[in-house]
Structure 1
Amino acid sequence: MIVGVGVDLVDIARFERAVRRTPALIPRLFAPGERELPAHSLAARFAAKEALVKAVGHSTGFGWQDMEVVSDAEGNPSFRIGGGLATLADRLGIRSFHLSMTHDAGVACAFVVAERSAA
């Protein structure tokens, strides 16, 4: 059963300017395993995190470090969640987050579906 969906779009050039202006955004927004990626990949991951917030309906009680975008051996993205987000997901009965990301023509986009297991 779907609990929520979220989508977000990030202008990559604007994201790059923000990071150049405020380098402290990188450690604030991204887990250590994400930080060395190129700007277009970071923009897509930021969009993914924003989309996840929309899928759960709010951002109260968890932070950016509670959600990390990881890829499997084939390059398929997913979330590794922890902290307050894991607690919220458990409370909402969310058992999985489905993630799709893309970047093209200067924008990065992500789509997230939060799913509860059938009861």
Structure 2
Amino acid sequence: MIIGIGTDLCVVSRYKAMVERRPGIEERLLTEAERGLSVESRAARFAAKEALAKALGSPGGMRWLDCEVVKSADGAPRFAAYGSVAARIAALEIGRIHLSLSHDGGYVTAMVVCES
């Protein structure tokens, strides 16, 4: 059964401008491993986390650094969740989270489906 869905669209140039305008913001949004990626991939991780928050009902108290976009053995993106995000996933009895990312023409999009 689907528990929640979330989508997000991020304009890479706007993400880059935000990072330049607000030094230190990426340290609050992205894990160390995520910060080492290209700007397009960092924007995609930001969009993925936004989409996940929407799929989880956007509750307060979740920390950005409590989830990370990682690659599964076959190269597909997936979430690793810790702390506040893992607690929300457990509270909703979510058994599987699907994540799809796409980059094209200066845009990145993320789609998340949470199911029990």
Q: Which bin holds the TM-score, normalised by the shorter protein? A: over 0.9
| Other-structure match for 2:112 | 112
Aligned partner of 1:36: which letter? Answer: G
Matches within 5 A, 1:1-119: 1-116=1-116
Which segments of 5 or more consecutive residues in structure 2 lack a partner in the other structure? none
Deviates more, 1:80-89 or 1:67-76: 67-76
Q: 3-state DSSP class of the match of 1:84?
A: helix
User: How many residues are aligned here?
Assistant: 116
Distance 2:113 2:14 in 1: 26
**CA distance in 2 between partners of 1:87 and 1:73 (Å):** 25
Give the partner amino acid of 1:13: S
Runs of 5+ in structure 1 lacking a partner?
none
Moved more, 71-80 or 94-103: 71-80
Shift of 1:22: 1.4
Deviation at 1:73, TM superposition (A): 3.6
Deviation (angstroms), 1:77: 0.2
| Offset from partner CA, 1:40-82 (integer Å, 9 cap, x none) | 0011110000000110111312110111000124321000001
Distance 1:75 1:38 in 2: 17
Q: CA deviation at 1:13?
A: 0.3
Q: Percent identity?
A: 46
Measure, in 2, the Cα distance between the counterparts of 1:68 and 1:39. 16
Give the superposition deviation at 1:88: 1.1
Divergent runs of 4+, >4 A: none
